[in-house]
Structure 1
Amino acid sequence: MWLNKIKHWLQWLGLYLWLVSGTIILTINASWLYFLNAYFQKLGPAVNLSLGRLMTNYYQMLAYLNFPWVPALKMNDFTDSAGALFHFAQVKNLFLLDYAVFIVTSVTTYYLWQRLKRNQQLWRFVLPMQTALWVPPIVALVMSLNFDQFFIYFHELLFRNSDWLFDPLYDRIILVLPDTFFLQCFVLAFVIIEWAFAYYLSVGKQALKTLD
């Protein structure tokens, strides 16, 4: 009996991890968001590059971060210091870990959905999603109070060094990765995850109606 309970709890944990990891994947690959920032903030001219040339470099960076078969970061117009390259390597490891979590939890989430659907218990999504809906607004509120400090804490949580502090003299890439872009990435992530929680909540509520 207790093994079944542990299994069920792990499936629910897997659901949350699936939603969070999926949100991260959608956010980090939102190249359209970077394009808008590059266009409206004129990031290319800041480093004497056209918009198209800048986007090419950005896609090269994304390819390195996303694909395990791309062993080294090589951009046409940017070279990075040893510290910056080490930081990008750490980010790549986090990206790949996120993909691994998403793949594994996709399986557990599928079985959770099938079990609840088979037992006509999709209504069980209601309470977990009602609770989860409060988390993104709370984190967003904390972030809005002082984004710079939030951004620093975020990096200190994920990294145990200061290699993420790029020097524009040696790592020009930081000139085209403004804080406003990262702020918008966080906002986008909050919107996506909040929508996901709301969707599962609606599924649960709809299931409750069918029981009446």
Structure 2
Amino acid sequence: MVWLNKVKQWGQWLGLYLWLISGTVILTINASWLYWLNATSQKLGAVVNLSLGRLMQNYYQLLAYLNFPWVSRLKMTDFTDSAAALGHFADVKQLFMLTYAVFIVTSVVCYYFWRDLKKSRQLWRLILPMQAALWVPPVVVAMMAVNFDQFFVFFHRVLFRNSDWLFDPLVDRIILVLPDTFFLQCFVLAFIIIEWAFAYLLSVGKTALD
């Protein structure tokens, strides 16, 4: 049953990568401190005649809708959105739920995978996969740096089946307080987190050889 062991091993490594990616996404999308920094430095509240505290209240309402399955309706105190915008946020919510589901399932896979590696003293096997993975974020960052706008559009076209993400600021004022610079910083934060995770696991593998 050599092929079955191969399939199991591939599944374990895939589970580890998906766990790292989904965990990174979860940490990034819930980095409300990053939005607060943008709202403060760019005075985003003033753009829509709201105080900083009021703007953050609306942002937390948006995060609650996107994060919690039991919040079935998006309702922000100071923003009313078009049908297209509500449809887009519903699509984003589905992606959030998928991310959480992947993280939960792969957490189980990673737990047993890690336990087996540690028990058999094979944590050194992390070295090559993590060395290879370390090159991926810099390559993506380089592509993003060339033309972030084009990268951002491509990113949305891959993830979404429609063009509802193209908000009209005259109708959907929420887009005025969600600037491109904030999303750029979210991408950068995600790359930093996952690059650190790859480097940490690489160090674990190397330490196992000592």
Partner of 2:174: 173
**What TM-score comes out, normalization by structure 1 length?**
0.98
Partner of 1:208: 209
1:156 aligns with 2:157: yes
In the TM superposition, 1:16-165 aligns within 5 A as 16-165=17-166
**What TM-score comes out, normalization by structure 2 length?**
0.99
Q: Which amino acid aligns with 1:40?
A: S
TM superposition shift of 1:21? 0.1
SS in 2 for 1:200: helix
Q: Which amino acid aligns with 1:29?
A: N
Q: Distance in 2 between matches of 1:199 and 1:157?
A: 30
Q: Distance in 2 between matches of 1:55 and 1:127?
A: 43
Q: Which amino acid aligns with 2:44?
A: L
Q: Distance in 2 between matches of 1:42 and 1:80?
A: 22
Q: Which amino acid aligns with 2:108?
A: V
Q: After the TM superposition, which parts of structure 1 deviate over 2 Å for at least 4 consecutive aligned residues? A: none
Q: Distance in 1 between matches of 2:166 and 2:144?
A: 20
SS in 2 for 1:174: helix
TM superposition shift of 1:8? 1.4
Q: 1:145-174 deviations in whole A, cap 9, x for unaligned?
A: 000000000000001111000000110000
TM superposition shift of 1:4? 1.8
Q: 1:12-52 deviations in whole A, cap 9, x for unaligned?
A: 10000000000000000000000000000000000000000
Give the count of matched residue pairs. Answer: 209
Q: 1:41-95 deviations in whole A, cap 9, x for unaligned?
A: 0000000000000000000000000000000000000000000000000000000
Q: Distance in 1 between matches of 2:147 and 2:94?
A: 28
Q: Which amino acid aligns with 1:121?
A: Q
Q: Which amino acid aligns with 1:200?
A: L
Q: Distance in 2 between matches of 1:203 and 1:112?
A: 15
Provide the aligned C-alpha RMSD in A. 0.4
Q: Distance in 2 between matches of 1:143 and 1:130?
A: 22
Q: Which runs of 5+ in 1 are unaligned?
A: none
Q: Which amino acid aligns with 2:185?
A: Q
SS in 2 for 1:75: coil
